[in-house]
């Protein structure tokens, strides 16, 4: 204990390895320490635990404190010199492992001034092949005193890698140490693997199980937000009240000990936090606004930063940097300049080689043309008739919203599969029917719940929350349509024309073996009689693309996407029972698939030697998954009404690292105007691809108006082709151009 500590020495103190950062000398105040020099040392622990990560203590009062290294040059004369060969090898190793340099291209240079160079760490500290464009965000981050970046590159350009490069650079520049990554729960393992395998950054996934493990290891009173320096957590875990409170307590405790609370916040899929245009903020938005104030640096990642509503877009920018931005429906000139400083958005079309060819493999989008059965055609017609009868009964905005919800949900389910439609249809009828002893269906107020349109509107808004899994959303939709139907029936009474259409739809479903009684049976018992046109075309496609000599090929995979879990179950069962295509060749992925199973499925699907050939996935499961290593085929069993979701699906295989040309398929039918419209939307999405922010929202409005507004029903199908999105690369101009075209069409 007699040795005096020095700054930079490695020590063992409180049974933990540490390095001394600061030392202050003072005199003792107790009688036994009088006239003795005491050393107040600041140490940084080296064991990767942050409980605490730093300490301020008096060296002479610590029992067992030991200096592990001393600061002094070695005595050269006491050892033999290395031979020339070893010395040259050492020198070359230092040279080859030295840091690279880049030219700071934002600095204006003249003939009389020298260009400004800065050392760059991250490319040499990562296990990746760095593309030139991936270094641009790193350069921009280093030019900022406080990093505030919205990395909004198109789907598949490697935003995760760019975030890792920025984090690695800031770590080695000694600008950051504590990092928090907030992402969807389904992407936590992927982030953890990417950060460790590519950048050697060890992150802990913090969830309820990990909290229990930490408290068992360190102590029951341990706050995990204080104990771990690098954390990955899900956006929905952190928004829980008790979890968020512990985060706040940890931050406030740290700020009393040191000015350094958290360093870098990385938010993946940041569009999930965008404030809604006019409604109250979601729980996710409020959570992000609350925690972001504790971070010195912020990095938001999203492929769709602009959802078509400027108020929502500027709200996201305000979360990123509330000093420069504020939520506003009109972007001011000053704000436009600030946006250029913080937003980085590149599209695949921006990258071409010296010969003018695309840097990425070509994407082909083709329609699978089907001829619907007469019963299917009749169902589409009856549903449109049903829409007109219901929507026309609206007396105010709330009623219209409820009526439109009833129809749009039924229309979406019918466009997905007749099986999914039938399941929702019977839920719809259960709220407004009472069977008599003779078996006739009567619509009476006796069987209705006592609900109002306002209550139905609340139930509908619950289905629109962003943080719902597949089963949660479908359950809420079933509840909402039941309440909405009851509200309609209670307010409007028994309307004969609506009863007639309902009975016709019920009759058609019975003809297709989709009656309520049949749906109550086990799926295996009725599978032989249930089949829609699309599933038969799927079988033909598989034989053409995936099979050779009657067997599945080893070098091909396909992902079949659907919006609904009911359709997913239907497709899986039909492939299994009727076409003998089952596990392990066929696997399913949905929002309730746990993280470990999801991660294992991703690894096997990307492994060319595995037995998996087909993956049936829902939209909730598709976000953020990288499945491009062994797959180049995607089939959209249904087309989502939001084009951004369609591009998210395509981005699972059409992304950085794809070695082959990508083929995307969707369904079309000449005897269904609804399917024709969605097929043309899919073609438009391919035209503009990942530049879908503002433009995609307008296309979504076209689809929505087609299905809900009878005044534009006739022109919206054919005239959608007149909307030219290829003449300008500026998203704002595209947005205005589409609106001009829509105005001309409507008038």
- The token pair at 532 is 């829609």
556 and 516 part of one domain: no
Q: In what order do the strands lie in the sheet with 54-58?
A: 54-58, 37-45, 16-27, 10-13, 66-67
457 and 406 part of one domain: yes
Ordered DSSP codes for 235-293: HHHHTSHHHHHHHHHHHHHHHHH-S--EEEEEESSGGGGPPPSSSPPPHHHHHHHHHGG
Quote the DSSP letter at residue 593.
Answer: S
Count how many residues are written for the chain: 747
Is residue 42 pLDDT above 50, yes or no? yes
517 and 540 part of one domain: no
Is residue 716 pLDDT above 70, yes or no? no
CA dihedral 304, 309, 311, 317 (to 10 degrees): 10
Is residue 132 pLDDT above 80, yes or no? yes
Tell me how far CA of residue 232 lies from CA of 182, 190, 401, 662, 730, in angstroms: 6, 10, 39, 32, 35
The tally of domains found in the chain comes to: 4
Per-residue confidence at 466, pLDDT binned at 50, 70, 90? Answer: low
Of the residues 526, 558, 593, the one at which a domain ends: 526
Average pLDDT over residues 249-275: 85
For residue 505, the enclosing domain spans 374-526
Angle at which helices 673-688 and 397-416 pack, to 10 degrees?
90
pLDDT of the residue at 413: 93
pLDDT of the residue at 572: 92
pLDDT of the residue at 660: 92
Which of 69-73, 179-183, 707-711 is the most confident on average? 179-183
> Would the CA dihedral through 56, 58, 63, 69 be positive or negative?
positive
- The token pair at 636 is 């959209």
Q: Is residue 399 part of a domain?
A: yes
pLDDT of the residue at 527: 61
Average pLDDT over residues 125-144: 89
Higher local confidence (pLDDT), 207 or 174: 207
pLDDT of the residue at 100: 57
Higher local confidence (pLDDT), 505 or 276: 505
Is residue 729 pLDDT above 70, yes or no? no
Q: Is residue 94 part of a domain?
A: no
413 and 275 part of one domain: no
678 and 534 part of one domain: yes
379 and 440 part of one domain: yes
Is residue 379 pLDDT above 50, yes or no? yes
Nearest residue to 615 (alpha-carbon basis) of 593, 629, 631: 631
Q: Is residue 154 part of a domain?
A: yes
Q: Is residue 90 part of a domain?
A: no
Is residue 258 pLDDT above 50, yes or no? yes
391 and 506 part of one domain: yes
Q: Is residue 669 part of a domain?
A: yes
Looking at residue 708, which CATH number applies to its domain? 3.40.50.300
Per-residue confidence at 92, pLDDT binned at 50, 70, 90? Answer: confident
Q: Is residue 505 part of a domain?
A: yes
37 and 173 part of one domain: no
Per-residue confidence at 717, pLDDT binned at 50, 70, 90? Answer: very low
Higher local confidence (pLDDT), 69 or 310: 310
275 and 236 part of one domain: yes
Of the residues 502, 526, 550, the one at which a domain ends: 526
The 10s digit of each residue's pLDDT in 403-422 is 888 888 999 999 999 999 99
Stretch (H or E) spanning 606 = helix 595-606
Find tokens 């709200």 and name the residue.
315
> Would the CA dihedral through 85, 90, 93, 98 be positive or negative?
negative
Tell me how far CA of residue 229 lies from CA of 19, 221, 248, 417, in angstroms: 17, 18, 15, 48
Q: Is residue 357 part of a domain?
A: no
592 touches 617 (CB < 8 A): no
In terms of C-beta density within 10 A (0-12 exposed, 13-18 middle, 19 or more buried), how is residue 438 classed? exposed
Min mean pLDDT across 374-383, 645-654, 667-676, 712-721 is at 712-721
pLDDT of the residue at 323: 93
439 and 579 part of one domain: no
Of the residues 526, 558, 577, the one at which a domain ends: 526
The 10s digit of each residue's pLDDT in 350-361 is 887 777 777 788
The 10s digit of each residue's pLDDT in 267-315 is 999 988 988 755 678 889 999 999 999 999 999 999 888 876 788 889 9
| Residues β-bridged to residue 262 | 295
Per-residue confidence at 259, pLDDT binned at 50, 70, 90? Answer: low
Q: Is residue 479 part of a domain?
A: yes
Min mean pLDDT across 33-42, 60-69, 443-452 is at 443-452
The 10s digit of each residue's pLDDT in 628-672 is 999 999 999 999 887 878 888 888 898 888 889 999 999 999 988
- How far apart CA 333 and CA 339 sit, in angstroms, is 10
- How far apart CA 149 and CA 131 sit, in angstroms, is 19
213 and 311 part of one domain: yes
Min mean pLDDT across 46-60, 592-606, 690-704 is at 690-704
Is residue 97 pLDDT above 80, yes or no? no
Residue 580 region by backbone torsions, left for phi larger than 0, else alpha for psi between -120 and 50, else beta: left
Per-residue confidence at 483, pLDDT binned at 50, 70, 90? Answer: confident
Percent share of the chain, pLDDT over 70: 80
167 and 25 part of one domain: no
């Amino acid at each position: 204990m007699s040795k005096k500590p020095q700054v930079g020495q490695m020590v063992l103190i409180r049974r933990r390895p540490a390095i001394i950062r600061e030392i202050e000398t003072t005199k003792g105040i107790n009688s036994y320490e009088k006239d003795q020099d005491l050393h107040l040392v600041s140490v940084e622990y080296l064991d990767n635990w942050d409980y605490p990560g730093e300490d301020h203590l008096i060296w002479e009062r610590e029992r067992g404190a030991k200096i592990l290294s001393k600061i002094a040059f070695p005595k050269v004369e006491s050892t033999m010199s290395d031979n020339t060969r070893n010395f040259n090898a050492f020198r070359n190793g230092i040279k080859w492992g030295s840091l690279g340099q880049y030219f700071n291209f934002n600095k204006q240079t003249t003939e009389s001034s020298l260009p400004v160079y800065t050392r760059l760490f991250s490319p040499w500290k990562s296990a990746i092949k760095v593309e030139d464009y991936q270094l641009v965000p790193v350069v921009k981050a280093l030019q900022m005193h406080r990093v505030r970046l919205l990395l909004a590159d198109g789907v598949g350009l490697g935003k995760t890698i760019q975030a890792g490069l920025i984090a690695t650079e800031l770590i080695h520049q000694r600008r950051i140490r504590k990092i928090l990554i907030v992402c969807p729960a389904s992407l936590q393992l992927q982030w953890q693997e990417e950060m460790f395998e590519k950048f050697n950054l060890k992150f802990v996934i913090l969830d309820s199980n990990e909290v229990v493990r930490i408290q068992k290891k360190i102590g029951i009173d341990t706050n995990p937000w204080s104990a771990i320096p690098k954390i990955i957590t899900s956006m929905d875990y952190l928004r829980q009240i008790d979890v968020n409170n512990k985060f706040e307590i940890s931050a406030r405790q740290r700020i009393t000990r040191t000015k350094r609370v958290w360093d870098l916040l990385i938010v993946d899929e940041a569009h999930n936090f965008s404030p809604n245009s006019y409604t109250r903020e979601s729980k996710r938005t409020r959570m992000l606004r609350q925690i972001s104030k504790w971070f010195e640096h912020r990095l938001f990642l999203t492929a769709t930063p602009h959802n078509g509503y400027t108020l929502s877009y500027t709200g996201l920018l305000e979360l990123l940097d509330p000093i420069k931005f504020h939520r506003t429906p009109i972007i001011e000139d000053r704000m436009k300049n600030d946006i250029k400083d913080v937003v980085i958005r590149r599209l695949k079309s921006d990258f071409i080689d010296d010969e003018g060819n695309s840097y990425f493999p070509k994407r082909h989008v083709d329609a699978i043309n089907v001829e619907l059965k007469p019963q299917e055609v009749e169902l589409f017609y009856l549903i449109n008739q049903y829409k007109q009868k219901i929507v026309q009964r609206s007396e105010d905005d709330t009623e219209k919203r409820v009526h439109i919800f009833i129809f749009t949900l039924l229309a979406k389910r019918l466009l997905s599969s007749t099986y999914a439609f039938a399941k929702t249809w019977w839920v719809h009828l259960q709220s407004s029917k009472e069977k008599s002893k003779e078996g006739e269906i009567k619509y009476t107020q006796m069987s209705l719940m006592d609900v109002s349109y306002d209550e139905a509107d609340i139930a509908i808004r619950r289905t629109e929350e962003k943080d719902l899994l597949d089963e949660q959303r479908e359950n809420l939709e079933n509840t909402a349509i039941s309440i909405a139907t009851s509200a309609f029936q209670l307010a409007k009474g028994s309307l004969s024309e609506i009863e007639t259409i309902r009975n016709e739809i019920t009759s058609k479903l019975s003809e297709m073996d989709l009656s309520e009684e049949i749906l109550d049976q086990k799926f295996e018992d009725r599978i032989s009689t249930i089949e829609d046109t699309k599933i038969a075309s799927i079988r033909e496609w598989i034989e053409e693309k995936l099979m050779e000599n009657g067997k599945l090929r080893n070098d091909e995979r396909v992902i079949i996407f659907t919006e609904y879990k009911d359709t997913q179950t239907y497709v899986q069962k039909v492939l299994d029972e009727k076409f003998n295509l089952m596990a392990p060749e066929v696997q399913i992925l949905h929002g309730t698939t746990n993280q470990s199973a999801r991660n294992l499925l991703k690894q096997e699907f990307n492994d060319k030697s595995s037995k998996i050939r087909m993956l049936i996935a829902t939209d909730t499961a598709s976000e953020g998954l990288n499945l491009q290593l062994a797959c180049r085929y995607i089939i959209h069993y249904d087309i989502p009404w939001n084009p951004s979701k369609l591009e998210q699906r395509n981005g699972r295989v059409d992304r950085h690292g794809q070695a082959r040309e990508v083929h995307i398929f969707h369904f079309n039918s000449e005897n269904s105007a609804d399917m024709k419209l969605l097929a043309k939307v899919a073609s438009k999405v391919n035209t503009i691809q990942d530049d879908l922010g503002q433009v995609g929202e307008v296309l979504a409005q076209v689809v929505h108006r087609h299905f809900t507004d009878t005044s534009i029903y006739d022109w919206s199908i054919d005239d959608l082709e007149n909307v030219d999105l290829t003449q300008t690369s500026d998203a704002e101009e595209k947005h205005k151009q589409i609106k001009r075209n829509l105005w001309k069409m409507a008038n």
